[in-house]
Structure 1
């Protein structure tokens, strides 16, 4: 059983709020660190206003609340991992936090050197370098983002054939009250979580299969005009990097497998695209 009793969530968005709510439902101490005091936290969760770029201030909060686990749900953004996440993990180090979960929540980042995934990888390597125990979660894409794949013509853009498998996982399966993250943090011992990368997958599909599920077709393109990030991700999807089990260093599916982490939650039903999007 988990020895973690106190949690701090950084960020109150799509992943942060449901994780905080889910943990609070397990009768553990949960705070949300936010620069703004206007957010309404879930029931049982305390909102702590703090400048998350101020390492000393964050350290004081973590010590005051005797935080065991820090969960960052803040995206690295435009490559500024040193501005967005470094102050918080430095504070976690000083406050002797037992586990730090970086804001990856997506496709694997190891081996990437450019773009958003390169920034996430640089930060993950920094966490390892300073010796803070970490847990990384790779879930592929969010199913809830699938409708936004559509272009103005209603078709799904694809760079290449669109036949390479992609891992997709629903947000509630990752971060909800009965989500994977809450489950492992409140049921597993630290020895099964520290310095590990857990790969989960709700559904494994190709872009062609996604198009069929959304009752449309693919639009084969070389790039998506005005959408550099989508173009960047479509290129990654085409060569296999959209799988949560992808090994970017060796450019192949890794030995752990895309759904290897699913085994830590026996009996759980992972939502399909149809179920998550009510198709």
Structure 2
């Protein structure tokens, strides 16, 4: 049984707010940390929003201590990954029991450069600080599929490369529910310094065209707003990195607890949402 009683979520975006809601539904103490002047968030009653300079480790640590926080969950955006360093320093000052860095995407272990490598650097900083951590790999959010392939109703999807590599996808609701479930029911020994690999459904970029009832347009890159990021993600998928079981160093699929979807077992009996259900196809 979990011993964690108080939680601090940092960042109230696409995955942060759902996690706040899922934790609040478990009737545990939850606070949401945000930057001063950030947009107002709607949270469940009983959840306190604390505005604090997230780059000020001492100030953040003081908040953690005031609210007797056991677990810190960072959900900052990928482009703000490096900013987590001060959160780790704050967690060290406050003797936090468990830290969940902002992963919630593709496997980052072993990446030597780029945005995914920046996440791996945060994990290394946590280790050097002696703070137990849990990394949760989810693959692509199902809700982001149309965005990744530049799809709108009636259009083709844009795919870089062959589009045959396996891709793990998981819904936001399932991710948030899983996080709340394991943090309130699973013993710390099964969470500390572990990588949990989720997979709501296994697909490929080509298979997405079938589900969306459209065809594929082969491209060398994705243009427009966010195009560079989408291009990088598709290239990672094409290299095998779209699977939550991918071993970046050895370039093979993991087995056992390193296999795609192996983390699903920590939520026995749960029915994971499909692409068709989430996108209402």
TM-score, normalised to structure 2's length? 0.93
1:188 and 2:189 are equivalent in the alignment: no
Larger displacement relative to structure 2 (165-174 or 67-76)? 67-76
Q: CA RMSD in A?
A: 1.4
> What's the offset of the Cα at 1:81?
3.7
**Equivalent residues in 2 for 1:40-189 (5 A)?**
40-77=42-79, 81-82=81-82, 84-148=83-147, 149-151=149-151, 154-175=155-176, 179-189=177-187
| Mapped partners of 2:93, 2:178: distance in 1 | 28
> What's the offset of the Cα at 1:274?
0.4
Larger displacement relative to structure 2 (22-31 or 64-73)? 22-31
Secondary structure of the equivalent of 1:240? helix
> What's the offset of the Cα at 1:42?
2.3
Paired positions, count: 273
Q: Which runs of 5+ in 1 are unaligned?
A: none
1:12-49 Cα shifts (integer Å, max 9, x gaps): 11111111111112111100011146333222211111
What is residue 197 of structure 1 aligned with on the other side? 195
**Equivalent residues in 2 for 1:250-265 (5 A)?**
250-255=250-255, 256-265=258-267
| Mapped partners of 2:19, 2:221: distance in 1 | 35
1:47-97 Cα shifts (integer Å, max 9, x gaps): 1111111111001000011100000000241xx644x11111110011000
Secondary structure of the equivalent of 2:158? strand
> What's the offset of the Cα at 1:220?
1.2
After TM superposition, what 4+ stretches of structure 1 lie above 4 angstroms from structure 2? Answer: none
Secondary structure of the equivalent of 2:241? coil
Q: Which runs of 5+ in 2 are unaligned?
A: none
TM-score, normalised to structure 1's length? 0.94
| Mapped partners of 1:10, 1:160: distance in 2 | 36
